[in-house]
């Protein structure tokens, strides 16, 4: 799925596309989802485009994956009760539409059917 065109997330990191950024450090950016599926729905995105999905990230940079999870916990605590769902879609049939690894942090009441489960 790799493309020569930068992903939408790379374009957000470069500030080419606006986003409501809620966290940023040297390796990660997090911003509110434009189509939220829960009261708190934030995307936590490694700034590198090197990994398309969570399995690649786990194999290639487990420390970065651990940082993504830690940021997810921090954001759930800051923006909600601290309880959250952490969702990684891996592959088109699993709902992945942007092939730049990212985690969905969902917190607050989940509406029936909003996540397709």
The residues pairing with 30 across neighbouring beta strands, listed in sequence order, are 23, 44
Q: Where are the domains of the chain?
A: 8-107
Lowest mean pLDDT among 12-16, 23-27, 68-72, 107-111: 107-111
At the top level of CATH, which class does the domain 8-107 belong to?
Answer: alpha beta
- pLDDT class of 89 with cuts at 50, 70, 90: very high
Residue 104 annotated to the active site = no
Residue 117 has pLDDT above 50, yes or no: no
Of the pLDDT bands very low, low, confident and very high (cuts 50, 70, 90), residue 4 is confident
Cα dist. 37→24, 59, 85 in Å?
Answer: 22, 29, 11
Please say if the pLDDT value at position 110 is more than 60.
no
Q: Does the structure show a pLDDT above 80 at 73? A: yes
d(Cα 112, Cα 96) in Å, to the nearest integer?
Answer: 21
| pLDDT given for residue 3 in this prediction | 59
Taken as a whole, the chain contains a residue count of: 117
**22-69 pLDDT per residue, tens:** 999 999 999 999 999 999 999 999 999 999 999 999 999 999 999 999
Catalytic one of 41, 100, 102, 104: 102
CA dihedral (22, 51, 12, 42) positive or negative: negative
CB 75 within 8 A of CB 23: yes
């Amino acid at each position: 799925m790799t493309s020569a065109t930068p992903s939408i997330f790379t374009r957000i990191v470069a500030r080419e596309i606006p986003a409501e950024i809620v966290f940023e450090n040297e390796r990660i950016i997090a911003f509110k989802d434009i189509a939220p599926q829960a009261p708190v729905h934030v995307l936590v995105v490694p700034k590198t485009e090197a990994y398309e999905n969570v399995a690649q990230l786990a194999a290639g940079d487990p420390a970065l994956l651990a940082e993504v999870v830690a940021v997810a916990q921090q954001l759930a605590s800051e923006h909600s009760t601290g309880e959250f769902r952490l969702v990684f879609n891996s592959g088109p049939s699993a709902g992945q539409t942007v092939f730049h690894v990212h985690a969905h942090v969902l917190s607050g009441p989940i509406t029936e059917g909003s996540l397709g489960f």
